[in-house]
Chain A
Amino acid sequence: MGRVALVTGVSSDLGAGTARGLAADPEVDKVVGIDVVPPRRQLDGVKFVRADIRNPVVGKVLAVEDVDTVVHLAVRPTSRSGARSSMKETNVIGTMQLLAACQRTAGVRKLVLKSSTEVYGASPRDPAIFTEDMPARRTPRSGYAKDTVEVEGYVRGLARRRPDILITTLRMARLLSPRIESPLGHYLRMPVIPTVLGFDPRLQVLHDEDALAVLRRAVANDIAGTFNVAGPGIVMLSQAVRRLGRPTLPVPPFGLSAVGQVIARTVRVDIPPDLVDLLTYGRGVDTTALVDSFGYRPRYTTDETLEQFAATIPPGALRADRIRGAEARIGALTGIGESRE
């Protein structure tokens, strides 16, 4: 059976990786990539269509290329503070347009949606670990989180109207990778990391290899449903920051208001607005369904992902060898010697 996959948001690192992976898959005959900007590098075996998914032209692409599998990766977090409104347009209106086209195109059999664990929001009323059937305790009211909630709503609408389309929703945790641009990666690369004073959130991250493998598996196999995708285990933000050897700057919560944001941005110490809730209350998700029903066991735990990330970025001011050195000096001075455990 000849299969044609359409990948939206193909210019992003994750989109390009997915398109490349699908092109290499003998099961998939043709891969069409669509985005408003061309990918940074040439994608071998991928037919790139420069188009905006907010435009009805996407319906024509679906029909002309005879697409049967749509991989929707164009729901993306805001990378910079200013780009929010255009991002919301692409995320929400683009999805509506794409889903409308899917509904009209009889050939579409499958939709793989890259959603985010942001749909659970982050609040003090949250359970420690979310499973797929739990709703957000406090519905996200802004930013990327709100976009994902709305996008999932529209996808449910499509599922009602076209029950023959197989839908896989992948709620991915925040990506952290030296190779892939992500807001969390950008945040953790800052020389001094601003944190929310008095809160130490639990973070759970996803390795890009796992993200790509899950997307490939979702295209290759017919597994309907919603799945949390994240590396097992959590780290505290304070712990992550210390492992990166970076000093922190605790910012009182009112410093996160509009005025605080402006000041913070001018001194280039800025908590991305999309991340504020997550970096205050944190979140953990259950990945049992991913392992048992979806059939994929993440290869990297949150710990290991962070370790890989730490190894590839320049170490911070408080790096581990300096602390070890200080300990050794104190040890030599007091005669306690090397610490033994």
Chain B
Amino acid sequence: MNSSNPDGANVIPLGVRGRPGRGGRATPSAAARAVAGSKPRSGPQSPDRDDPSLEATSSATSPPTIPSQSADERATRDGSSSGVPVTEIVAALVNAAQQVFGDDWERRAAELMAFTRRRLTGDYEVDDFGFDHELTSRFLMTALRPIANQWFRIEVRGVENIPADGGALVVSNHSGTIPMDTLMTILTVHDHAGRGLRSLGADLVFTMPFVSELARKGGATLACNADAERLLSQGELVGVWPEGFKGIGKPYSERYKLQRFGRGGFVSAAMRTGVPIVPCSIVGAEEIYPMIGNVPSLARLLGVPYIPITPFFPWLGPLGLVPLPSKWLIEFGEPIRTDAYSDGAADDPMLVFNVTDQVRETIQQTLHSLLVARQRVFF
């Protein structure tokens, strides 16, 4: 980033302990280095300034090649009497940090250290469901963001339909063999609406080691009415994928055909708490792992709903686990209000079925229009 601006490298005296010596880009300032008694470069040709790792290596390895320098000189320069050029390594690290974090590096590095300390001493809060807000926004979301932006190039529509506060139920289609669409929806809501989406997961999620741990910390809880209603009445934004395994594990030939929407439990939860239902349609997740086969017997043996066979898995081994880079569109539809229904509405199965169908139809229609809008499946 400082390649275009040679002065950019000079603005941070911290960590370099105020020594001059970067010089210009074209001509390394040898004079400045001689005055300061700084280490010479390992060769006459200047190493590329844009590569922090190269600098780090050169400064770490170069001191032994300067036998002419006395220990005293070095000690005064480094501020330490040990033979290890601590300050130089640190300077290189600082430089690297600056390149990674940008101009604001000092504050961000301090923040990162404080974050690490808080994690290590347990000095953070989780809510009753195990949702770890700090870990989610700082770590999980950061890890997912490049996948969303660079790999799937997610295009988001209708963000204004997500209420800025108060409880709401986001209902979405489910596809893609593994619940990548859930993760991407959580990230989208986090980044575009600035709210945490509390997802409702199948009990299989909470059976699996590591997955269950991360799911709870990421805000998920078991898909049951008790939890859904508790979250909604606390004013949380809750996400549900009512197709469940029938949706996510359907063969590629049935892509974008919505399956049965559970038993309408999500509608009765929304009705009881009087929160709006926000339909969410996701196009793109169907193509990430096109499922062309299934091994039901092995799946039964392992206690999972299906063992997917895709054109690449298991044939390519771990490489087959890389999701295909399909183009994604996520659209949040207009909220469907449920607060106008009478008190006993949630116990009227016919009404619940009707609203369930209405939500399902809305999502199916939106899926069709999004499919038309999407120019190409992959690039």
List A residues at the B interface (Cβ < 8 Å). Answer: 124-129, 131, 134, 196-200, 202, 233-236, 238-243, 245, 253, 281-282, 284, 318, 320, 323-324, 327, 330-331, 333-337, 339-341
| Residue contact A339 to B110, C-beta cutoff 8 Å | yes
| Residue contact B90 to A334, C-beta cutoff 8 Å | yes
| Residue contact A334 to B109, C-beta cutoff 8 Å | yes
List residues 112-127 of chain B with CB under 8 A from any CB of chain A: 113-114, 116-117, 119-124, 126-127
Kindly identify which residue among B113, B122, B210 contacts A336, using a CB–CB cutoff of 8 Å: B113
| Residue contact B210 to A330, C-beta cutoff 8 Å | no
Q: Is B327 an interface residue (CB 8 A)?
A: no
List residues 9-23 of chain B with CB under 8 A from any CB of chain A: 14-15
Q: Which segment of B44-52, B168-176, B180-188, B213-221 sits at the interface?
A: B213-221
Tell me the complex Cα distance, A199–B216, Å: 10
Kindly identify which residue among B114, B127, B210, B227 contacts A198, using a CB–CB cutoff of 8 Å: B210
Report the nearest A residue to B97, measured CB to CB: A334
The answer to whether residues A202 and B216 also contact, given A128-B128, A128-B227, A197-B209 and a CB cut-off of 8 A, is yes
Shortest A104–chain B CB gap in Å is: 40
| Residue contact A234 to B130, C-beta cutoff 8 Å | yes
What are 29 A-B pairs with beta-carbon distances under 8 A?
Answer: A124-B203, A124-B207, A124-B212, A124-B222, A134-B226, A198-B208, A200-B216, A202-B128, A233-B128, A234-B127, A234-B128, A235-B122, A236-B132, A236-B217, A239-B126, A243-B123, A320-B121, A323-B121, A327-B116, A333-B86, A334-B15, A334-B90, A334-B109, A335-B94, A336-B106, A339-B110, A339-B113, A339-B117, A341-B114
| Residue contact B128 to A200, C-beta cutoff 8 Å | no
List B residues at the A interface (Cβ < 8 Å). Answer: 14-15, 86, 90, 93-94, 97, 106-107, 109-111, 113-114, 116-117, 119-124, 126-130, 132, 203-204, 206-213, 216-217, 221-222, 224, 226-227, 230
Q: Which residues of B contact A235 (CB under 8 A)?
A: 122, 126
Tell me the complex Cα distance, A323–B217, Å: 23
Report the nearest B residue to A253, measured CB to CB: B209
The answer to whether residues A202 and B130 also contact, given A124-B207, A128-B227 and a CB cut-off of 8 A, is yes
| Residue contact A324 to B222, C-beta cutoff 8 Å | no
**Most B CB atoms within 10 A — which of A129, A198, A323, A335?**
A335
| Residue contact B217 to A200, C-beta cutoff 8 Å | yes
Tell me the complex Cα distance, A148–B209, Å: 28
Report the nearest A residue to B131, measured CB to CB: A128
Q: Which residues of B contact A124 (CB under 8 A)?
A: 203-204, 206-207, 212, 222
Q: Which residues of A contact B120 (CB under 8 A)?
A: 242, 318, 323
| Residue contact A199 to B212, C-beta cutoff 8 Å | yes
Shortest B38–chain A CB gap in Å is: 17
| Residue contact B93 to A334, C-beta cutoff 8 Å | yes
| Residue contact B14 to A335, C-beta cutoff 8 Å | yes
The answer to whether residues A236 and B126 also contact, given A128-B221, A334-B93, A336-B110 and a CB cut-off of 8 A, is yes
Shortest B18–chain A CB gap in Å is: 11
Q: Which residues of B contact A333 (CB under 8 A)?
A: 86, 90
Q: Which residues of A contact B117 (CB under 8 A)?
A: 323-324, 327, 339
| Residue contact B114 to A339, C-beta cutoff 8 Å | yes
The answer to whether residues A241 and B122 also contact, given A335-B14, A339-B113 and a CB cut-off of 8 A, is yes
Closest 10 CB pairs of A and B: A198-B209, A242-B122, A124-B206, A243-B122, A339-B114, A127-B226, A198-B210, A239-B122, A124-B207, A320-B121
Shortest B267–chain A CB gap in Å is: 19
Q: Which residues of A contact B224 (CB under 8 A)?
A: 127
Shortest A145–chain B CB gap in Å is: 18
Shortest B114–chain A CB gap in Å is: 4
Q: Which residues of A contact B86 (CB under 8 A)?
A: 333
Tell me the complex Cα distance, A234–B110, Å: 29
| Residue contact B122 to A240, C-beta cutoff 8 Å | yes
Tell me the complex Cα distance, A336–B111, Å: 10
Q: Which residues of A contact B206 (CB under 8 A)?
A: 124-125, 281
| Residue contact B109 to A239, C-beta cutoff 8 Å | no
Report the nearest B residue to A239, measured CB to CB: B122
Tell me the complex Cα distance, A315–B122, Å: 14
Report the nearest A residue to B214, measured CB to CB: A200
Tell me the complex Cα distance, A77–B203, Å: 28
Shortest B137–chain A CB gap in Å is: 15
Q: Which residues of A contact B126 (CB under 8 A)?
A: 202, 234-236, 239
Report the nearest B residue to A306, measured CB to CB: B122
Q: Which residues of A contact B116 (CB under 8 A)?
A: 327
Tell me the complex Cα distance, A245–B211, Å: 25
| Residue contact A128 to B210, C-beta cutoff 8 Å | no
Tell me the complex Cα distance, A124–B15, Å: 50
Q: Which residues of A contact B128 (CB under 8 A)?
A: 128-129, 202, 233-234, 284
Q: Which residues of B contact A134 (CB under 8 A)?
A: 226
**Most A CB atoms within 10 A — which of B121, B123, B212?**
B121
Shortest A186–chain B CB gap in Å is: 20
| Residue contact A282 to B113, C-beta cutoff 8 Å | no
Q: Which residues of B contact A131 (CB under 8 A)?
A: 226
Report the nearest B residue to A196, measured CB to CB: B209
Tell me the complex Cα distance, A331–B110, Å: 8
Report the nearest B residue to A337, measured CB to CB: B110
Q: Which residues of B contact A233 (CB under 8 A)?
A: 128
**Most B CB atoms within 10 A — which of A124, A197, A281, A337?**
A124
Report the nearest B residue to A319, measured CB to CB: B121
Report the nearest A residue to B213, measured CB to CB: A200
Shortest B345–chain A CB gap in Å is: 22
Q: Which residues of B contact A331 (CB under 8 A)?
A: 110, 113
Tell me the complex Cα distance, A341–B109, Å: 11
Tell me the complex Cα distance, A126–B216, Å: 13
Shortest B80–chain A CB gap in Å is: 10
Report the nearest A residue to B225, measured CB to CB: A127
| Residue contact A198 to B113, C-beta cutoff 8 Å | no
The answer to whether residues A199 and B213 also contact, given A128-B230, A241-B122, A323-B121 and a CB cut-off of 8 A, is yes
Tell me the complex Cα distance, A320–B121, Å: 5
